[in-house]
Amino acid sequence: MHELSITESILNTAIKYAQKEKAQKVTDINLVIGDLSSIVDDSVQFYWELISKGTICENSCLHFQRIPAIVLCQDCGNRYALEHDLIPCPQCSGMNIKILSGDDFKMDSIEIQ
């Protein structure tokens, strides 16, 4: 359900900008999604095909650019990527860490005809 409301937001945003440009058709949508944003690409894709039908976005292609979650260890200055779980610094085992990136959840651009 979370992905459905997200996908609806993607559709509304794409249509809004495409109409502004008087586009006939949207061919591609480029999304930037941080790994911390708990979005499943496949699920968005699934809803996309359903809800874009009959709109100028029908048959358009969604592209997901994934941004890794990067954290900074404030004890030793090490920067590392979080693969799955929240983990202590692999260099010094410190837990005094700060999340630098990975929250991104943006539409970067659309391609239109």
Residues near another protein (CB under 8 A): 1-2, 5-6, 9-10, 12-13, 17-18, 21, 24-25, 27, 31, 36-38, 85-86, 95-97, 99, 105-113
Nearer to another protein, 25 or 79 (CB): 25
Nearer to another protein, 38 or 49 (CB): 38
What SS3 state is found at 37? helix
Q: Residue 87 is which amino acid? A: I
Nearer to another protein, 21 or 42 (CB): 21
Nearer to another protein, 37 or 78 (CB): 37
CB of 86 to another protein, least distance (A): 5
Query: What are the φ/ψ torsions at residue 19 (nearest 5 degrees)?
Result: -65, -35
Q: CB neighbours of 107 closer than 8 A, spacing ≥ 6?
A: 10, 13, 14, 29, 30, 31, 32
CB of 54 to another protein, least distance (A): 20
CB of 50 to another protein, least distance (A): 16
CB of 73 to another protein, least distance (A): 11
Q: CB neighbours of 18 closer than 8 A, spacing ≥ 6?
A: 26, 56, 57, 110, 112
The strand pairing partners of 81, in sequence order, are 70
